[in-house]
Amino acid sequence: MTTAAYATSSLTERDCERAPAWLRERSFLPDRWRDEHTRSLVAEDDTGAPLGAGTMWTSRVHPGRYNVDLVVAPEHRRMGIATALLRALAELQPAPQPFIWGAAESDPAHAFAASLGARTIQRSPLDRFSTAHAVRLRPHDRARSVREVTPSAVEHAWADMYEWTHAEWHPVGPGSRGALIEDLWSETDADASSVALLPSGGVGAVVLVFVDSKVPVIAGETASCETSDGARLLEGAIRRSLDELARRGTPEVAFDGHESDPHLMPVLRTLGPLTRWHRIVEFHC
């Protein structure tokens, strides 16, 4: 390995303003942008020119791991700079916690994570799905618009669903329910979003259509991991959402789901082949 001479220090507002293109592209924020759990470092050569940068932050929903991002100037890669930045970030953690990072499986940066002994904790499909394929799913007579139940019933079902689908691999922290529902109604299309009701009238499955990106993103599962007839309820709710989007002329959607979601994955396999994956890994330093 060729080595490079550099020193690491806090990334400042000024560093961000005068950042070269390779650093600007990743939108790093200055050190401690929120608090002691949001840290950013820069590695500079002896003239003060940046060679690489690293940042870590916890989320309000998942305080148990640090999200991390690193970038090194293309001409200074494979010299150990990212590894050194990661070690320096680890030393700044008030209590040692693992790092979490994800990217498309084809991303070369997975080789860097692998060099640290990264462990895959989840995969999510990256494919787009045609709304015309909705006919492959069975409708359900208890699938409705989310407008037909109270907002709080939808919010409860959403937070319950999020908690159980993450429990095994990325558990939520205490008091995270507020953060989970905070921007729900401004980011979703309520007419296209669906619930499937239990015979009791409660929400058995919830499917929200997020419209804050170019292609609508559908996320959903049963409200509980033990919902009776959950697979059929979820299938019906997704069918309703896709029908509504197709009726408006929306040609395709993405799904925000996990390989471990027991009722969602069979639906996605029915809608189309799963060919591209986002892989989330955990590593220590």
Ligand X SMILES: CC(C)(COP(=O)(O)OP(=O)(O)OC[C@H]1O[C@@H](n2cnc3c(N)ncnc32)[C@H](O)[C@@H]1OP(=O)(O)O)[C@@H](O)C(=O)NCCC(=O)NCCS
Residues 113-172 close enough to bind ligand X by CB under 6 A: 115
Q: How far is the CB of 10 from ligand X (least distance, A)?
A: 19
The residue whose two tokens read 């305080």 is 63
Tokens of 50: 């940046």
d(CA 181, CA 172): 13
Q: Which of 59, 67, 83, 120 binds ligand X (CB under 6 A)?
A: 83
From 69-77, 189-197, 247-255, 261-269, span contacting ligand X (CB under 6 A): 69-77
Binding residue count for ligand X, defined by CB under 6 A: 19
Residue type, 181: I
Tell how many helices (H) and how many strands (E) occur in the chain. 9, 13
Nearer to ligand X, 71 or 268 (CB): 71
Give which of 167, 134, 150 is closest to 237, Cα–Cα: 134
| CA pair distance 70, 116, nearest whole angstrom | 14
Q: Pairing state of beta strands 252-255 and 128-130? A: antiparallel
Give the residue, chosen from 23, 81, 157, 207, that forms a contact with ligand X under the rule CB under 6 A.
Answer: 81
Applying CB under 6 A, which of residues 6, 28, 66, 112 lies at the interface with ligand X?
112
Asked if 179 interacts with ligand X (CB under 6 A), we say: no
Tokens 């991390």, residue? 68
The nearest distance, CB 176 to ligand X, in angstroms, is: 24
Q: Which residues of the shown chain bind ligand X in the complex (CB under 6 A)?
A: 1, 68-72, 77-83, 101, 108-109, 111-112, 115
